[in-house]
Amino acid sequence: MAIKVKFKDKNDDFYKKIVELSGEQVALCDQCGTCSGGCPFIEEMDINPSEIMRKVMLGQKEVMDSRTMWICASCFTCTVRCPRELDVSKVSEALRQVKLRTAIDEISIADISKEEAKKLPTIAVVGNFRKFTG
Amino acid sequence: MKTGIFLCECGGNISNTIDLENVKEHLNDEDEKVIVKIHGNMCSGAGQKLLIDEAKKHGLDKIVVSACSPHFHEKTFRGAMKKAGLNPYNLEIANLREHCSWIHKDIPKVATEKAKEIVDAAKAKAELDYALEEKMMKLGNEVLVIGGGIAGIQTSLDLADSGKNVTLIEKQPTLGGKMAILTKTFPTEDCAACIISPKMAAVIDHPNITLHTNTEIQDIAGHRLHFEAKVIKHPRYIKDSINMDQCLICNKCREVCPVSQPNYWEQGIMNREAIYIPAPHAIPYKYLIDAETCLHFVDGSCNKCAEVCPQNVIDFGQKAEELNIAVDAVVVATGFDIFDAKRKPVFGYGKYENVVTSLEMERIVDHIVEKDPPRKVGKRVAFVQCVGSRDKQIGNEYCSRVCCMYSIKLASLLKQAKPEIDIYIFYTDIRAFGKGYEEYYKRSQEMGIKFIRGKPSHFTEVKETKQVILTVEDTLSRDIIETEFDLVVLANGLELSKSSDIVADSLKLAKSDDGFFKEAHPKYKPVDTLVEGVFLSGTAQGPKDIPDTVAQASAAAARVMATLAQKEFALDPVLAFVNSDICDGCEKCLDNCPPKAISMNNEGKAEINEALCLGCGSCITSCPLEAIDLNYYTNKQIYAEIEASLHLKKENEKRILVFADNNTTYRLIDACGVRKMKYTNYARVLRVPSVSRISPNLIEFAFAKGADAVFLGDSPAKGSHFEWANKTTQNNIKTVLNKFKKLKIDSDRLIFSQFTAADLMKFINEINQVAEKIDKLKSIPEDIKKQLFPKEK
Ligand SMILES: Cc1cc2nc3c(=O)[nH]c(=O)nc-3n(C[C@H](O)[C@H](O)[C@H](O)COP(=O)(O)OP(=O)(O)OC[C@H]3O[C@@H](n4cnc5c(N)ncnc54)[C@H](O)[C@@H]3O)c2cc1C
Ligand code: SF4
Ligand code: SF4
Ligand code: SF4
Ligand code: SF4
How do residues A13-22 score in pLDDT, each as one tens digit?
A: 999 999 999 9
Does residue B212's CB lie within 6 angstroms of at least one atom of ligand 1? no
* Average pLDDT of span B745-750: 95
User: Same domain for A67 and A32?
Assistant: yes
Q: Which residue has the higher pLDDT, B428 or A128?
A: B428
Q: Which residue of B has its CA nearest to A48?
A: B478
Task: Band the pLDDT of B270: cuts 50, 70, 90.
Answer: very high
Query: B779 CA to middle of ligand 1, Å?
Result: 63
The whole-model pTM stands at: 0.78
Query: B317 CA to middle of ligand 2, Å?
Result: 58
Query: B492 CA to middle of ligand 4, Å?
Result: 9
**Three-class DSSP labels, B40-102:** CCCCCHHHHHHHHHHHHHHCCCEEEEEECCHHHHHHHHHHHHHHCCCCHHHEEEEEHHHHHHC
Find the range with the poorest average confidence among A46-50, B189-193, B230-234, B530-534. B530-534
Find chain A residues with C-beta within 8 A of B428's C-beta: 30-32
The percent of residues in chain B predicted with pLDDT above 70, rounded, is 99
Atom 2 of ligand 3: nearest residue by CA position = B294
The CATH number that domain B633-793 falls under is 3.40.50
Q: How far is CA B55 from the centre of its chain?
A: 43
Find chain B residues with C-beta within 8 A of A43's C-beta: 480
Query: B149 CA to middle of ligand 1, Å?
Result: 6
**Contact residues of B toward A, CB < 8 A:** 346, 386, 390-393, 428, 453-458, 471-475, 478, 480
Report the phi/psi class of residue B489: left, alpha or beta, with left for phi > 0 and alpha for psi in -120 to 50. Answer: beta
Q: Which residue has the higher pLDDT, B437 or A105?
A: B437
Side chain identity at residue B630, one-letter code: L
Give kind and range of the element (H or E) at residue B685: strand B683-688
Do the Cβ atoms of B457 and A31 come within 8 Å?
no
Q: What is residue B719's predicted lDDT score, i.e. its pLDDT?
A: 66
Residues B199, B203, B206, CA angle at the centre, nearest 5°?
Answer: 125
Residue A2 included in any domain: no
Same CATH fold, B575-629 and B337-495? no
Task: Band the pLDDT of A1: cuts 50, 70, 90.
Answer: low
The CA-based diameter of chain A, rounded to the nearest angstrom, is: 50
Number of domains within chain A: 2
SS3 B717: coil
Q: Which residue segment(s) compose the domain that A47 sits in?
A: 9-102
User: Same domain for A25 and A56?
Assistant: yes
How do residues B186-233 score in pLDDT, each as one tens digit?
A: 999 999 999 999 999 999 999 999 999 999 999 998 777 889 999 999
Residue A18 included in any domain: yes
Residue A3 included in any domain: no
User: Same domain for A58 and A14?
Assistant: yes
Does residue B184's CB lie within 6 angstroms of at least one atom of ligand 3? no
CA pair distance A125, A117, nearest whole angstrom: 8
Do the Cβ atoms of B392 and A85 come within 8 Å?
yes
What are the boundaries of each domain within chain B? 1-134, 142-234+322-335+497-564, 252-319, 337-495, 575-629, 633-793
pLDDT exceeds 80 at position B687: yes
User: Same domain for A70 and A131?
Assistant: no
* Average pLDDT of span A77-100: 94
Q: What is residue B501's predicted lDDT score, i.e. its pLDDT?
A: 95
Q: What is residue B136's predicted lDDT score, i.e. its pLDDT?
A: 86
How do residues B488-507 score in pLDDT, each as one tens digit?
A: 999 999 999 999 999 998 88
Ligand 2 pocket by Cβ (under 6 Å): A 29-35, 50, 53, 82, 84, 86, 88
Residue pairs between chains A and B whose CB atoms are closer than 8 Å: 63
Q: What is residue A134's predicted lDDT score, i.e. its pLDDT?
A: 64
Query: B172 CA to middle of ligand 3, Å?
Result: 20
Find chain A residues with C-beta within 8 A of B453's C-beta: 33
pLDDT exceeds 80 at position B698: yes
Average pLDDT, chain B: 94
Q: What fold is seen in the domain B575-629?
A: Alpha-Beta Plaits (3.30.70)
Q: What is residue B792's predicted lDDT score, i.e. its pLDDT?
A: 60
The β-bridge relationship of strands B336-338 and B494-496 is antiparallel
User: Same domain for A98 and A114?
Assistant: no
Average pLDDT, chain A: 87
pLDDT exceeds 70 at position B244: no
Looking at domain B142-234+322-335+497-564, its CATH superfamily turns out to be FAD/NAD(P)-binding domain (3.50.50.60)
Residue A35 included in any domain: yes
Do the Cβ atoms of B480 and A42 come within 8 Å?
yes
Task: Band the pLDDT of A131: cuts 50, 70, 90.
Answer: confident
Atom 8 of ligand 3: nearest residue by CA position = B257
Find chain A residues with C-beta within 8 A of B474's C-beta: 33
Query: B622 CA to middle of ligand 5, Å?
Result: 8
Q: What is residue B481's predicted lDDT score, i.e. its pLDDT?
A: 96
pLDDT exceeds 80 at position A119: no
Ligand 5 pocket by Cβ (under 6 Å): B 578, 583-589, 606, 622-623, 625, 627-628
**CA neighbor of B770 nearest in space, from B643, B648, B654, B638:** B654
Which of the residues A24, A36, A50 would you substitute to probe the B interface, choosing the one with the greatest number of B C-beta atoms within 10 Å? A36
How do residues B426-455 score in pLDDT, each as one tens digit?
A: 999 999 999 999 999 999 999 999 999 999
CA pair distance B150, B84, nearest whole angstrom: 53
**CA neighbor of B224 nearest in space, from B688, B598, B572:** B572
Does residue B295's CB lie within 6 angstroms of at least one atom of ligand 3? yes
Does residue B491's CB lie within 6 angstroms of at least one atom of ligand 4? yes
pLDDT exceeds 60 at position A62: yes
Give the number of other CB atoms < 10 A from CB of residue B282. Answer: 22
Of A32, A33, A85, the CB nearest to B393: A85
Atom 3 of ligand 3: nearest residue by CA position = B275
Q: Which A positions 33-72 lie with beta carbon below 8 A of chain B? A: 33-38, 42-43, 47-48, 50-51
In sign, the C-alpha dihedral spanning B147, B717, B720, B622 is negative
Q: What is residue B735's predicted lDDT score, i.e. its pLDDT?
A: 95
Q: What is residue B483's predicted lDDT score, i.e. its pLDDT?
A: 96
How do residues B594-607 score in pLDDT, each as one tens digit?
A: 878 899 999 999 99
Which of the residues A29, A30, A32 would you substitute to probe the B interface, choosing the one with the greatest number of B C-beta atoms within 10 Å? A32
Kindly state whether A79 is in contact with chain B, defined as any CB-CB distance less than 8 angstroms.
Answer: no
User: Same domain for A82 and A110?
Assistant: no
> Which atom of ligand 1 is closest in space to residue B216's alpha carbon?
42
* Average pLDDT of span B464-486: 96
User: Same domain for A59 and A121?
Assistant: no
Do the Cβ atoms of B390 and A83 come within 8 Å?
yes
pLDDT exceeds 60 at position B424: yes
**CA neighbor of B560 nearest in space, from B595, B530, B536, B542:** B536
Atom 7 of ligand 1: nearest residue by CA position = B185
How do residues B112-161 score in pLDDT, each as one tens digit?
A: 999 999 999 999 999 999 999 988 888 999 999 999 999 999 999 999 99
How many DSSP H helices and E strands does chain B contain? 21, 38
Q: Which residue of A has its CA nearest to B387?
A: A83
Query: B552 CA to middle of ligand 1, Å?
Result: 13
Which of A32, A54, A68 to mutate to test ligand 2, by most ligand atoms within 8 A of the CB atom? A32
pLDDT exceeds 90 at position B242: no
Q: What fold is seen in the domain B1-134?
A: Rossmann fold (3.40.50)
CA pair distance B581, B603, nearest whole angstrom: 11
Task: Band the pLDDT of B47: cuts 50, 70, 90.
Answer: very high
The percent of residues in chain A predicted with pLDDT above 70, rounded, is 94
Atom 6 of ligand 3: nearest residue by CA position = B302
pLDDT exceeds 70 at position B280: yes
**CA neighbor of B672 nearest in space, from B776, B765, B769:** B765
SS3 A132: helix
Residue A88 included in any domain: yes
Do the Cβ atoms of A37 and B480 come within 8 Å?
yes
Does residue B388's CB lie within 6 angstroms of at least one atom of ligand 4? no
CATH class for the domain made up of B337-495: alpha beta
User: Same domain for A110 and A73?
Assistant: no
How do residues B621-652 score in pLDDT, each as one tens digit?
A: 999 999 999 999 999 999 999 999 999 999 88
The β-bridge relationship of strands B422-427 and B380-387 is parallel
Q: Do A128 and A105 contact (CB within 8 A), yes or no?
A: no
Of A37, A48, A82, the CB nearest to B456: A37
pLDDT exceeds 80 at position A113: no
Residue A1 included in any domain: no
pLDDT exceeds 60 at position B702: yes
Query: B625 CA to middle of ligand 5, Å?
Result: 7
How do residues B555-581 score in pLDDT, each as one tens digit?
A: 999 999 999 998 888 888 999 999 999
Q: How would you class A3 by CB atoms within 10 Å of its CB: exposed for 0-12, middle for 13-18, buried for 19 or more?
A: exposed
Do the Cβ atoms of A38 and B458 come within 8 Å?
yes
User: Same domain for A50 and A110?
Assistant: no
* Average pLDDT of span B9-36: 91
User: Same domain for A63 and A79?
Assistant: yes
Kindly state whether A24 is in contact with chain B, defined as any CB-CB distance less than 8 angstroms.
Answer: no
Task: Band the pLDDT of B659: cuts 50, 70, 90.
Answer: very high
